[in-house]
Amino acid sequence: MLSEFNDFDKEIDENTFHACLETLATCDYYILFIGNRKGGYYDKSNNISITQREYREAYELFQRGKLRLINFVRNETLILAEKYANNKNLSSDHPDLPFISKFIDEVSRKNELELATDGKGNYPKGNWLHKFSNFEEIARVFNISLKLNTNISEKILITNLISELNENLKQILIKTDNNIFDLNNFVNNIRKNVAPNINEPSKYNSIDLRNLYFFFITKQTDFKKISTDQLTNCLVQGIFLKFDPADTSLKTSKIQNSLQNLKNQIERLQGFEKGNPLLSTESLFSNMISIKTKGEVITNNLDVTLLVMFFTLLLNISNMMKSILRFLKNYDEIYVDPILIEENPFIHEIEKIKKETIQNSEIEKWLTK
């Protein structure tokens, strides 16, 4: 805990505990260890310990994206807490156990998790609780969470990749009224108005439709600036491949697959409008100014369908970049695949296309014949 060490900047005129709390705001990580003892009180009347108060301050900073949490609990402590949940008499031998058990529930966000499981709230973040029995297990968590086992060349590649993805998002995302435009909401609003059958006309809100044209025309040049140089370097170097000691081979990982998919989708995006007269600036501008400024527009124009598919592809790319960056910047301890939207807006065509698409498992089966 911060209060157990002296080698950090603090105001010597401040109360020692408040100095620790203020120092939290300057930290990159907060590391919590839960053992069998409650420790000293911060607020005895409300049964709040010093460690608990520090943790709550750190969690609030975590929620604001100011620091990251790494939480540990002794294995024996967790076992005791689990036994206490079924036998309250254990507290006679372990007087701090009721408090410790409740604190473990708080750190693991037990109540929030139960509500989310019942569909009554969002799943909590920062609630990962690492069990440990010895220093080796603590070091292993640090190696993963802080990426201490990453060599210098890999760190350089990852740093360059983060920089490239940040720059790419500047080209992709749209800013309106000093805020990043909600591309997800915009694309889904457009897509829900596309007729399920390709031969049927679609009905759109005129403002959404004009924005669809306008955003494409004004951002067309930016999309061509999207770079994949550092992404390609990471793929070629294989820094996200996993070594499997069982058969001494390298296996792909979720983030490796996502990076490869991202590269493929960016290449598709940049070649989307090439040679297509329907997506020329002149054609799109002509169609945009012909749209009335209010009400609904009924159209079966192919260029609208192409733009819907283009922005769906763009949304998927931005969500992939977001997931990758969250992992690389340690916002997420494990890589979480983004939810991608089916590019084809025509519902009746999707299942047909899926059936005709060859899967990896089918290739493996074909290879063994």
Average pLDDT over residues 229-245: 89
Q: Give the C-alpha separation, 184 to 314, whole Å.
A: 10
Nearest to 212, CA basis, from 255, 174, 162, 250: 174
- Per the model's pLDDT, the better-predicted residue between 2 and 120 turns out to be 120
pLDDT of residue 159 exceeding 70, the answer is yes
Residue 247: is its pLDDT beyond 60?
Answer: yes
My answer on whether 136 and 159 are in the same domain is no
Looking at the structure, do residues 127 and 166 belong to the same domain, yes or no?
no
For the ranges 71-80, 176-185, 211-220, 296-305, which has the lowest average pLDDT? Answer: 296-305
In a shared domain, residues 240 and 346: yes
21-38 tens-digit pLDDT: 888 888 889 999 999 999
Reported as half-sphere exposure (CB side, CA atoms, 13 A), residue 322 has a value of 13
Final residue belonging to a domain, choices 116, 145, 174: 145
Mean pLDDT calculated for residue range 251-256: 89
Q: Is 296 helix (H, G, I), strand (E, B) or coil?
A: strand
| Same domain assignment for residues 167 and 211 | yes
12 has pLDDT over 80 = no
| Beta strand spans in the chain (E) | 29-34, 41-43, 48-49, 68-74, 129-132, 175-176, 179-180, 202-205, 242-244, 249-251, 296-299
156 and 123 both lie in a single domain: no
The rounded percent of the chain whose pLDDT value lies above 70 is 91
Residue of higher predicted confidence among 218 and 127: 127
Geometric angle at alpha carbon 349, from 343 and 355, rounded to 5°: 95
The domain boundary residue, chosen from 88, 116, 145: 145
Give the end of a domain, one of 120, 145, 170: 145
Pair (234, 91) in one structural domain? no
Query: 75 and 137: one domain?
Result: yes
pLDDT of residue 133: 92
Per-residue tokens: 76? 């024996």
Which three-class secondary structure state does DSSP give residue 83?
Answer: helix
d(CA 284, CA 216) in angstroms, rounded, equals 9
58 and 175 housed in the same domain: no
Residue 9 has pLDDT above 60, yes or no: no
> Residues 224, 276, 175, 123: is their CA dihedral positive or negative?
negative
198 and 333 belong to one structural domain: yes
pLDDT band at 348 (very low <50, low <70, confident <90, very high): low
**pLDDT, tens digit, 9 for 90 and up, residues 65-111:** 889 999 999 999 999 999 888 887 777 678 899 999 999 999 999 99
Higher-pLDDT residue of 134, 364: 134
Q: Are residues 54 and 129 in the same domain?
A: yes
Say which range, 31-35, 210-214, 269-273, has the weakest mean pLDDT.
Answer: 269-273
Residue 212 predicted with pLDDT over 90? no
Same-domain pairing of 173 and 314: yes
Q: What is the pLDDT of residue 347?
A: 58
Do 208 and 110 belong to one domain?
no
Pick the range with the lowest mean pLDDT from 13-22, 52-61, 195-204.
13-22
Overall average pLDDT of the 362-366 stretch: 84
Q: What is the pLDDT of residues 280-331, one digit of tens each?
A: 878 888 878 888 778 888 887 677 888 888 889 999 999 999 999 999 988 7
Q: Measured between alpha carbons, how far is 46 from 204 in angstroms, rounded to an integer?
A: 57
Look at residue 256 and tell me whether its pLDDT is greater than 60: yes
Q: What is the pLDDT of residue 13?
A: 56
* Per-residue pLDDT, 2: 40
pLDDT exceeds 80 at position 278: no
Say yes or no to pLDDT of 8 above 70: no
Give the separation between CA 53 and CA 123, rounded to whole angstroms: 23
Count: domains in the chain: 2
Lowest-pLDDT range, 70-84, 213-227, 247-261, 348-362?
Answer: 348-362
Range of the domain at 93: 2-145
Q: Which amino acid is at 236?
A: V
Q: What is the mean pLDDT of the chain?
A: 85
In this prediction, residues 320-345 reach a mean pLDDT of 86
The type of residue at 24 is L
